[in-house]
Amino acid sequence: MGTHELAQAERFTLPVSVDDHCTLRCRGANGGDVLGHGGGLYQGQHCDGYQHGGFLFILVPVYHGYRQGEKVKSMKTTLDMVSDVVCPWCWIGLRNARAALDLLGDEVEVKTAFRPFFLDGGIPREGLEYHAYMDRKFPDKVARKAGMEHLQQAGVQVGIDFRFDKITRRPNTLNAHRLIRWAEGQDKGWEAEEALFDAFFTQGLDVGDVDTLIGIGVGLGLEEEVLTGLFASDRDVDQITREVREAQQIGVQAVPTFIVARSRGASGAQPPAVLAKLLREGAS
């Protein structure tokens, strides 16, 4: 298999007007609308805080020639999951998304895609020592411990055994997102996401290390020689960075964020039933 055979996944061009005033209408957990502009919408809801947002949002601008609310004529839709591989809620969200698809069965045909996000864009390429990083970012150790325990309980409900005690590096995740992109080109996006989450959260591996990523890729069935060449190049570096910036420009500041039919979505590790309902609405 040559380099050209690792087909690049469809470029993520957000289907809305991207500017500093892109308006999002959100429904809070207690009802009512919340309006936000640009990047300030989800302040305080970042996954690195071991919290998950509970907003449902609708992107107001027009896209692809029709307005939000018009009926899609066939029972097909798309699901874009914006996430980062060092976000524990994103792994829970991934499991919930899979469960939502299982709930739908053959009712709705869903085309899925995984979109990149950087929880902390300031991490150097070589990464940082994990415990020192966490001490700086979350100095309240009591609250941090409680948050991790809550996450572990939430993980058990979807079959995840978080092993935060094994993590030693807080990686830069650019290369991990590149691997996901290449795996998607081989219809292995779901497998790549699962493998990377498992490597980081249960094995404590450094998912910013190229050799580690090549090993994960080989385990997915990708060729070692091809991956070595791709990682030695700058393939998809600019595209991944651009997609992260575009997501931020429409107000995505908490992950996971699910975008259905490129017009509506939800932030946070929403239950399968909620995601299934959104997918039905996006296809009806």
pLDDT of residue 15: 37
What is the arithmetic mean of pLDDT over 106-124? 97
pLDDT attached to residue 97: 98
Find the mean pLDDT for residues 162-190: 98
Q: Is 147 exposed, middle or buried (0-12, 13-18, 19+ CB in 10 A)?
A: middle
Q: Would the pTM of this model clear 0.95, i.e. be above it?
A: no
CB 16 within 8 A of CB 59: yes
Which among 170, 196, 174, 169 is positioned nearest to 245, based on CA atoms? Answer: 174
Tens digit of each residue's pLDDT (9 = 90 or more) over 245-265: 999 998 898 999 999 999 888
Give dist(CA 220, CA 230) in Å, integer.
16
How far is the CA of 25 from the CAs of 57, 149, 267, in angstroms?
6, 32, 13
Is the Cβ–Cβ distance between 266 and 82 less than 8 Å? no
Q: In b/e form, how buried is each residue of 217-255, taking b as 16+ CB within 10 angstroms?
A: beebebbeebbeebbeeebbeebbeebbebbbbbbbbbb
Query: Tokens 């995601």, residue?
Result: 275
pLDDT tens figures, 196-244: 999 999 999 999 999 999 999 999 999 999 999 999 999 999 999 999 9
Q: Would you state the pLDDT for residue 12?
A: 38
> Is residue 83 classed exposed, middle or buried when 0-12, 13-18 and 19+ CB atoms within 10 A define those classes?
buried
Residue type, 60: V
Closest CA to 274 of 50, 54, 89: 54
| pLDDT given at position 265 | 82
Average pLDDT, the chain: 81
What are residue 257's phi and psi, to 5 degrees? -125, 130
What are the residues facing 56 on neighbouring strands? Answer: 27, 266
- Cis amide leading into 139 (omega within 30): no
Q: What letter does residue 266 receive in the DSSP assignment?
A: E
Res 31: pLDDT:
32
Domain extents for the chain?
3-283
Helix axis angle for 224-232 and 174-184, nearest 10°, is 130
Q: Which residues contact 124 (CB under 8 A, 6 or more apart)?
A: 172
Confidence tier at 7 by pLDDT (50, 70, 90) = very low
**Residue 20 predicted with pLDDT over 50:** no
| Burial (Cβ within 10 Å: 0-12, 13-18, ≥19) of residue 281 | middle
Percentage of residues in the chain with pLDDT exceeding 70? 74
- Provide the CA 26 distance to its chain's centre, in angstroms: 19
Give the per-residue pLDDT at 74.
54
User: What CATH class is the domain 3-283?
Assistant: alpha beta
Mean pLDDT of 173-184: 99
At 42-62, the pLDDT tens digits run: 223 336 433 333 444 444 332
Pairing of strands 128-129, 169-170: antiparallel
11 has pLDDT over 60: no
**What's the whole-number mean pLDDT along residues 185-203?**
98
Tokens of 119: 């929880």
